[in-house]
A and B are shown apart, each in its own frame.
Chain A
Amino acid sequence: MVQIIDTHFWNPHLKIKKKIEYKFTTLGEDYKFRTPVLTSEIVKEIIIDLKKQREQYLHTSDIPTILDTIGTVTKRWLDPMYNGRQLAQKVLPLITGFSPEMIETWGFGRFLSILKKENFPIFNKLNHENFQDFSAHGDGWVKAYGSHEITHSNPNPTLIGHICAGNIVGIGAIEIIIDKLIDAATWVKPPSEEPIFTAMYAKSIEEIDPRLAYTIAVLPYESKNTELNEFLFSQSDLIRATGSELARQNLMTLSKKHNTPVAGHWHKLSFITIAREYLNKRVREIAELVSLDVSAWDQQGCFSPHEIFIEKGGEVSPKEFAKILAEEMAVTAKILPKGTKSGKMQVLNGFHQYFKRKQMGEPIEIYQSPHKNWLVIFDGVSKDFEPSPLFRVIRVRPVEDILDVVEIVRPLGKFLQTTGVAIPNNRLLSFANEIGEVGVTNIRAISSMTLQKAWEPWDGRFPLQELFEHDNIRWVSINTRNIDEEIKLLIEQKRMLNNQ
């Protein structure tokens, strides 16, 4: 018996069913996706209804009720016995190519916990004047760079659109929730690479509070559908988009044409910085944690590291660290194995690229898995930042001082995003000041690079605030106030993963 899974969601009471044609996509032997062929006529009716539902229900609902609903929905998803989760656990590995273990631990185990009620980002709009130096916020630090020139302000958006990139599984769920906190109706264009979870999540809201769910529409359509893009931009107060540089160019053209602001999150590059103080008897723990950052989501996220900078002068050399990291990559590959999208060609390309250079006599060491599942390269000579082929290919590079990293990544500027760190507290703030200045926005303890805390900014803006105000402030965060304690906690969590 083949199970049909919808990739769309909207108010089912809308009388448009007869007008809709569906495409079916077979996935394995057990599932088919049902995707509507959306036309402007259909989407127009959906958008009119979204705005009506927002006005009649969301706008008049009290926030505690909305919070309770979302909290209940999240509790369901965190329950391994919830039927929606059980279906997603079966289907997401098939469609994304990530392993079931990755979906289970990094998706349901870690990512979904961001959606717990107590983690919702309801906090003050920060006054940038109070954050000219790194100052306490959440359980970390933040600092404001830039000037407070407001370029967009609308405290009461009625309709927000979300165009989601395929490299972040589940992002649509976060987008839906945040909109509800500011009384906005929502349409989401799910990624073609992972078209089901957003609709499944919206349906789980419908199970608890149908009228809240009917302020949400999940609209799977092709990015090149100009007519729909034009219509949706013309109807929305703001679009939040994640995507490639090409997507950025296309969407910004639409933004200008329709005067619709875009909160964009585009192509970014991330890396890891390890200080010499951690290259001692704790080095294996550090390598364990680093291996998680490299392995999480098979390095597909904008927050995934491309390179690892290791400071010289520790008890363990950068080259020795690379070897230990390779050993830990092998261990982590058992906990978080690759799925069907193995990226073996990328790993092989990485191998051949560095193998040639090693043959030419360059100070390069290559550590690889027997089945080309991962690759660790020690590169003692390159000067510039080199993007990784991804799929667990990582380059370890020595630096004399962690502050040397600032100059290496400076040319990347606005493309920088996250640096995973193991830097002692007494050196972290001076490093953060410099690395924040050149463009890094998120500084996180190693192994949590892919795990945004609810209070953290995202690409320099707070996810909730950027839905109603844009300025030229770039917020930079450190996700802990005590890196040493955080690393101890993260090691405990990693060991729990090992034991599972």
Chain B
Amino acid sequence: MTRFPSDDWVNQFKEALNSNTVYAEVAKDWEGDFLFIVTPDEGLKDEVILYIDLWHGKCRKAFITDRNQRAAFVFKGPYSNWKKVIKKELDPIRGLIRGMFILEGDSKIILDQTKAAQELVNTASQISTEFEV
């Protein structure tokens, strides 16, 4: 079991993405890096920022970072909602529509790549994850 969010988790996520042929296909046109910002609630006391560099169906870099990091897109939400997404209890686009997450960046590009976004979540859900209590 790998704790979310952590360096180990983000490394596993990178490896899982790079071995996911479905993701490679649906994200083949994707160019852009993400900051996944996990804001504290429930068991998480401090904000955690994950940097994920996605490029044509592959993950080039993934690591925990800080507020100085910049990326084309920011997807931000409270820890409890991230848990739901990773457990596949919440579709991230539905979360976005309902205001459970905030997106910074060109939403039209995200809209055009919703299948890639979905496969990102599918990949994350396959990691054996334990959460902060």
Which residues does A use to contact B, with CB under 8 Å? 62-64, 67, 117-118, 120, 122-125, 155, 181-183, 464-465, 468-469
Complex: A103 Cα to B22 Cα, angstroms: 43
SS class of chain B's interface: helix, strand, loop or mixed? helix
Q: 19 A-B pairs, CB-CB below 8 angstroms?
A: A63-B91, A63-B93, A67-B114, A118-B111, A122-B93, A122-B96, A122-B107, A122-B110, A122-B111, A123-B103, A124-B96, A124-B101, A124-B102, A124-B103, A155-B98, A181-B97, A182-B98, A183-B94, A468-B98
Considering the complex, give the chain B residue whose CB is closest to the CB of A64: B114
Q: Using Cβ atoms and an 8 Å threshold, which residues of chain B touch A182?
A: 94, 97-98
Min CB–CB distance A321 → chain B (angstroms): 38
Q: Using Cβ atoms and an 8 Å threshold, which residues of chain B touch A67?
A: 111, 114
Evaluate contact between B93 and A64: CB separation under 8 angstroms.
yes
Evaluate contact between B111 and A120: CB separation under 8 angstroms.
yes
Min CB–CB distance B67 → chain A (angstroms): 17
Min CB–CB distance B42 → chain A (angstroms): 18
Evaluate contact between A464 and B97: CB separation under 8 angstroms.
yes
Contact with A along B82-124 (1 / 0, CB 8 A): 0000000001011011110111000110111011011000000
Q: Using Cβ atoms and an 8 Å threshold, which residues of chain B touch A124?
A: 96, 99, 101-103
Interface centre among B99, B110, B117 (most CB of A within 10 A): B99
Q: Using Cβ atoms and an 8 Å threshold, which residues of chain B touch A117?
A: 111-112
Given contacts A123-B96, A468-B98, 5 further A-B contacts (CB under 8 A): A63-B97, A63-B114, A67-B114, A117-B111, A465-B99
Range, interface on chain B: 10 to 19
Min CB–CB distance B39 → chain A (angstroms): 13
Q: Using Cβ atoms and an 8 Å threshold, which residues of chain A touch B117?
A: 64
Min CB–CB distance A370 → chain B (angstroms): 47
Considering the complex, give the chain B residue whose CB is closest to the CB of A117: B111
Complex: A118 Cα to B110 Cα, angstroms: 9
Considering the complex, give the chain A residue whose CB is closest to the CB of B94: A63
Interface centre among A120, A123, A155 (most CB of B within 10 A): A123
Considering the complex, give the chain B residue whose CB is closest to the CB of A183: B94
Contact with A along B28-56 (1 / 0, CB 8 A): 00000000000000000000000000000
Considering the complex, give the chain A residue whose CB is closest to the CB of B116: A64
Q: Using Cβ atoms and an 8 Å threshold, which residues of chain A touch B110?
A: 122
Q: Using Cβ atoms and an 8 Å threshold, which residues of chain A touch B107?
A: 122-123
B112 touches which one: A62, A118, A464, A469 (CB < 8 A)? Answer: A118
Complex: A62 Cα to B92 Cα, angstroms: 10
Complex: A120 Cα to B111 Cα, angstroms: 8
Considering the complex, give the chain A residue whose CB is closest to the CB of B102: A124
Complex: A182 Cα to B107 Cα, angstroms: 17
Q: Using Cβ atoms and an 8 Å threshold, which residues of chain B touch A181?
A: 97
Q: Using Cβ atoms and an 8 Å threshold, which residues of chain A touch B96?
A: 122-124
Q: Using Cβ atoms and an 8 Å threshold, which residues of chain B touch A469?
A: 99
Evaluate contact between A118 and B98: CB separation under 8 angstroms.
no
Considering the complex, give the chain B residue whose CB is closest to the CB of A155: B98
Complex: A63 Cα to B91 Cα, angstroms: 8
Considering the complex, give the chain A residue whose CB is closest to the CB of B112: A118
Min CB–CB distance A120 → chain B (angstroms): 6
Min CB–CB distance A249 → chain B (angstroms): 32
Min CB–CB distance A176 → chain B (angstroms): 16
Q: Using Cβ atoms and an 8 Å threshold, which residues of chain A touch B91?
A: 62-63
Considering the complex, give the chain A residue whose CB is closest to the CB of B121: A62
Q: Using Cβ atoms and an 8 Å threshold, which residues of chain B touch A465?
A: 99
Evaluate contact between A122 and B118: CB separation under 8 angstroms.
no
CB contact under 8 A between A125 and B115, given known A62-B91, A63-B91, A64-B93: no
Closest 5 pairs (CB-CB, A-B): A125-B99, A64-B114, A63-B93, A124-B102, A64-B115
Complex: A468 Cα to B115 Cα, angstroms: 25
Interface centre among A62, A117, A181, A469 (most CB of B within 10 A): A62
Q: Using Cβ atoms and an 8 Å threshold, which residues of chain A touch B114?
A: 63-64, 67
Min CB–CB distance B83 → chain A (angstroms): 17
